[in-house]
Amino acid sequence: MKNANAKLLIALAVLIVLVAAAGLIFGRNPMEISKGKGPLTITATEGLIIPDPQNAPAHDMPADTPFLVIRADGFTYPGVPLTATGDYTLTQPDGSYNILHVTQDSIRMSSADCSNQDCVSQGAVTCGNVELRPMGSLIVCLPHKLTVELMVPGSNSVFLGEEDWK
């Protein structure tokens, strides 16, 4: 069972990398932060920063501060520094949702109303395990066309590099 799960996670990671490569070749640059109103309504518990598509990521945070990047249906929200613990509720226009729990060094999809719950079972991405996870720094919810990524300074990312935040 564990071997089958590991193979499934590896296959999913390869698929994500291929989709990202196809996006670079055929579509919009995934490193580009989208402007305008995104498809999600993002609410957060007190103390968390809500990404504002009209503004660039905060640059006045210490260089070693991890960031959260949210992508939904082709829209990339500006990076949000992880400075507090709490929950982001990511609500789609049709009312479907994902709840992302964040700390100062981790992200975890704690709940979602998607049909397969794969995003919830992907577990936490932490500053310490990002290089070891089959999915790297990503948590993916395919039914909601949603990815969340923990950007850890000094580590590699599937989509964005540390230099994109400078």
pLDDT tens sequence across 28-62: 454 567 777 789 999 999 989 888 777 655 556 67
Query: Residue 27 sits in which domain range?
Result: 2-165
Q: What are the distances in angstroms from CA 47 to CA 4, 85, 87? A: 40, 8, 10
Please report, for the domain that includes residue 138, its CATH number. 2.60.320.10
Of residues 22 and 25, more confidently modeled:
22
- Residue 139: strand, helix, or coil: strand
Hey, what are 63's tokens? Answer: 């260089």
Q: How many domains does the chain contain in total? A: 1
Whole-structure pTM over 0.85, yes or no? no
Distance CA 161, CA 106 (A): 18
The mean pLDDT of 90-103, rounded to a whole number, is 96
The mean pLDDT of 77-98, rounded to a whole number, is 94
Distance CA 54, CA 35 (A): 6
